[in-house]
Structure 1
Amino acid sequence: MAADRDGARGRARSGPALPAAALPAGRHPLSSGYLAPQDQPHRLVSQALARASRRPAALGRVDPTGVPELRTWFATQADAQPDDVLVCAGTQAALATIFTSLCRPGDAVAMESPTYVGALAAAHAAGLRVVPVHRGADGAPDPHDLDRALQSSGARVLYAQPHGANPTGTSWPARTHQELVAVARRHGCFVVEDDWAHDFVLAGTPRPLAADDPGGTVLHLRSLTKSTVPALRVAAVVGRGPVMARLAAGRTAADLYVSGVLQHAALDVVTGPGWRRHVRTARARLVDRRDALAAAVVAHLGADALTHVPVQGLHLWVRLPDGTDDTALAARADAAGVEVSAGSPWWVSEPGGPHLRVSYAAAEPAQAARGIEVLAALLREAPTGW
């Protein structure tokens, strides 16, 4: 079953999902993968869409690889050239293009475990066999483990989230970047760098793997959907060498091209005077929400429940007591008005203990604190055997 990037597949629900703006009183949105509606740049996007809809160039056929000016903008974000960019209808579409263009059914694809459920869904839809690569204590795969996994599986693609991983919130230390890419290069394996949280950097200045990869091993994914509005499904694959022509052919065969109106609107938003202000404001709000949620987790669930506070991204990876049924807990929490994502579906291999993915993207600090209080109460009431 396909999964959107807010992790809906990993969230137990008792009824149909409601948009954040329509959540009934008393609901605590701790599972969202999008900014709160009041933090999304609705005016910037709606005005950009209106302008784009009046441009003849946006209403006709566009270059299958993307509007040139938008490709140029994406290229500048990864120290690349416009010819290195392929525009796609969101990261999920980009993943489908990569998996079907570079792999055949039955092939292996390596993924960190746990990982984004949408990547798992895209790989399974392409008929691929997913091979787990475990993260170490520093948040990155061990180079020797990666070497063994690629050697034994023959995987030609490694899907990874080096920056603010969903669901764990971890980031690879910069010192590991070149070594891990070198391991993949020795095996002729592409590294798909999902930089989904590029605009949600809360501390530091992370550098994309692709910026230091002139040889074309890394395929960098950058989406604008998370940092704008869910309806603006515009993303790009950035890579170097002959592989880009192969991806372009696969993408074109699937959907010809991405809507010119959406591309022109996206370009208008990210090059307009309000874009940087929006990103700065969103980051400041996320820092406040992250800190409030992390403090609530430690206060009500204990220090052992939170071993990592993210410097990028939208989520906390919360460890539950041994024996807890995370799926049952998520379902009970939902019935009590608290929306969280059970951790089990995010693992590629056997789960390394029960977890919840708890998001600070859309909940105000008071909502988050109350939601964690409810979770703590449910854990205290849990029947024996959870």
Structure 2
Amino acid sequence: MLKTAEHLYLQVADNIEQLIEKEVLKIGEKLPSVRTLSKQQGISLSTAFQAYYHLESKGLIESRPKSGYYIRFNTRRFPDIPSRCEPVKKAAEVTVSEMVQQVFHHMTNEDVMKFSVATPPPAVLPAAKMAKAVVHVLRELPYYGIGYESVQGNLRLRRQIALLSLGWGAAHTENDVVTTNGCVDALTLCLTATTQPGDTIAIESPSYYGALQLAESLGLKVLEVPTHPTTGVDLDYLDKAIPRHKIRACLFVPNFNNPYGCCMPDERKQELVKMVEKYDIALIEDDIYGDLYFGKQRPATCKTFDKKGNVLYCSSISKSVAPGFRVGWCIPGKYKEKVIQMKQNHSIACSTIPHAAVGYFLETGRYENHLRNMRKALHTQCLRYTQAIMEYFPESTRISRPQGGCVLWIELEEHINTFELFQLALKSKISFCPGRIFSLRDRYSNCLRISFGIPWSKQVDDNLKALGKMIRKLS
């Protein structure tokens, strides 16, 4: 039962949003006044104002001076989703690093509008709470944390991660968890534990460029698996490809894939787990965006359905709390001892103080409260960015419909080269990720990825408008 005023205004706003989506309330129609809404719903004027303000922040309604509130946008107006890639016939060597370096060369330049960075800016992260956590653990740790942690990782942190697994339908213990220096470190350890140089791994297409770079550094071949913009990996294609290409491991992002933002339905996750069990290969599951869902509840993971230990689950707090702390983890199933050995050879142990501080932060229960606010903000920003792109970009533009995370995948007309567009935009201090870096092959050259992690503002709106003008000139 909803009891608090906060929940009440969200309930009222959600009801109005559903009426807009079902077109009971149509674009341009006037909404009841705040006073009328208050009487109709039996709520206070303050709660009625909050409900309208919440809808206004999403761009669904607008306030007109001395006139009231009107319907502005309906999610049914969304453009077509991006097209799916064609299957490939063989695996390929990896060569994307040079282009990625060019894109992120201006990573620390504060003058650049960084739509390229798929992480919320530090200003919206719980910096003060993390500072308090660091001070607290410094008092607790022996010798102020200058000693080594155990190879498996900080015990308090591992316990809290095990408790987090309850949220996605599992029941792991601290003994199942190995901490790492961020999610990429977790992926590196898991790939190293399950493959040898020259082996072939399966990756989504389009795929996170960091995964392609990682495969390149480990001397692996990559087979790009066609991926649907809303349901994820093509499992029929994968089932035939595993024996044909002698795939040793799969590296997928089932929840809110980067760059599509799609979420694989739970029944397909279960089917995927059965498939890797059938072939007795590893499934490395990158769930770094799993907590940043827009729906009513957190989606399950592939690890949820793993009974034989073939799934190596990887995640971190880099997208939600503190990217600079480099706190990640994996739950590597039957590969645990090998992963621990690899970690000992690779880095000996993780940094003591940040890992202890994150363990304490999770223990206090502040994480879920922070996530609740962040999810709400990201969903709102997703809608505002989408509306702006629809307004400023050419009418033929296709836009993904992420169900979580913080990125949009945009497909332009075929003749537009988004790497050339990137170089042009950078002169106006605007950065984004050209689509070409999300594949090994000459694909997605007319696509781009934009992060909506930066809170909505006039500056964001102006930069999207400027980018849209550049695209229209190229059309």
- Of 206, 210, 213, the residue aligned with 1:118 is 210
Aligned counterparts of 2:427 and 2:413: Cα–Cα separation in 1:
21
Match of 1:12 in 2: 103
Aligned length: 374
Higher relative contact order (CA 8 A, sep 6+): 1
1:59 maps to a residue whose letter is I
Task: Compute the TM-score of the two structures, normalised by the length of structure 1.
Answer: 0.90
Aligned counterparts of 2:141 and 2:158: Cα–Cα separation in 1:
19
* Residues 315 and 329 in structure 2, CA contact (< 8 A), matched pair in contact too: yes
Task: Compute the TM-score of the two structures, normalised by the length of structure 2.
Answer: 0.74
- Quickly say closer, same or farther: Cα 1:304–1:212, change in 2 above 3 A: farther
Q: CA deviation at 1:151?
A: 1.1
Aligned counterparts of 2:449 and 2:133: Cα–Cα separation in 1:
34
Gaps of 5+ in 2: 1-93
- Of 210, 220, 243, the residue aligned with 1:128 is 220
SS in 2 for 1:376: helix
Aligned counterparts of 2:224 and 2:100: Cα–Cα separation in 1:
19
Q: CA deviation at 1:352?
A: 4.6
- Quickly say closer, same or farther: Cα 1:11–1:342, change in 2 above 3 A: farther
What is the CA deviation profile of residues 240-263 of structure 1, one whole-angstrom value per residue up to 9, with x for unaligned ones?
Answer: 22x110111001110011012121
SS in 1 for 2:228: coil
Match of 2:281 in 1: 189
What is the CA deviation profile of residues 271-297 of structure 1, one whole-angstrom value per residue up to 9, with x for unaligned ones?
Answer: 224322221221222122111001111
Match of 1:39 in 2: 124
Question: Residue 211 in 1 paired to residue 296 in 2?
Answer: no
Match of 2:42 in 1: none
- Of 424, 430, 437, the residue aligned with 1:345 is 437
> Any runs of at least 4 consecutive aligned residues in structure 1 with deviations exceeding 4 A, and if so which?
1-4
Q: CA deviation at 1:117?
A: 1.1
SS in 1 for 2:250: strand
Aligned counterparts of 1:273 and 1:92: Cα–Cα separation in 2:
26
* Residues 396 and 413 in structure 2, CA contact (< 8 A), matched pair in contact too: no
Match of 2:154 in 1: 67
Q: CA deviation at 1:304?
A: 4.5
Q: CA deviation at 1:303?
A: 5.6
Match of 1:164 in 2: 256
* Residues 293 and 365 in structure 1, CA contact (< 8 A), matched pair in contact too: no
- Of 113, 122, 134, the residue aligned with 1:49 is 134
Report the RMSD for the aligned CA atoms in angstroms: 2.3
- Of 317, 325, 328, the residue aligned with 1:224 is 317
Question: Residue 275 in 1 paired to residue 367 in 2?
Answer: yes
1:362 maps to a residue whose letter is I
Q: Quick check: which has more Rg, 1 or 2?
A: 2
Task: Map 1:253-268 to 2 at 5 A.
Answer: 253-268=345-360
* Residues 28 and 363 in structure 1, CA contact (< 8 A), matched pair in contact too: no
Aligned counterparts of 1:10 and 1:304: Cα–Cα separation in 2:
30
Task: Map 1:349-364 to 2 at 5 A.
Answer: 349-352=441-444, 354-364=446-456
Q: CA deviation at 1:139?
A: 3.0
* Residues 114 and 348 in structure 1, CA contact (< 8 A), matched pair in contact too: no
Aligned counterparts of 2:314 and 2:343: Cα–Cα separation in 1:
14
* Residues 221 and 237 in structure 1, CA contact (< 8 A), matched pair in contact too: yes
Gaps of 5+ in 1: none
Question: Residue 76 in 1 paired to residue 163 in 2?
Answer: yes
SS in 2 for 1:331: helix
Q: Percent identity?
A: 22
Task: Map 1:144-183 to 2 at 5 A.
Answer: 144-183=236-275
2:118 maps to a residue whose letter is G
2:107 maps to a residue whose letter is A
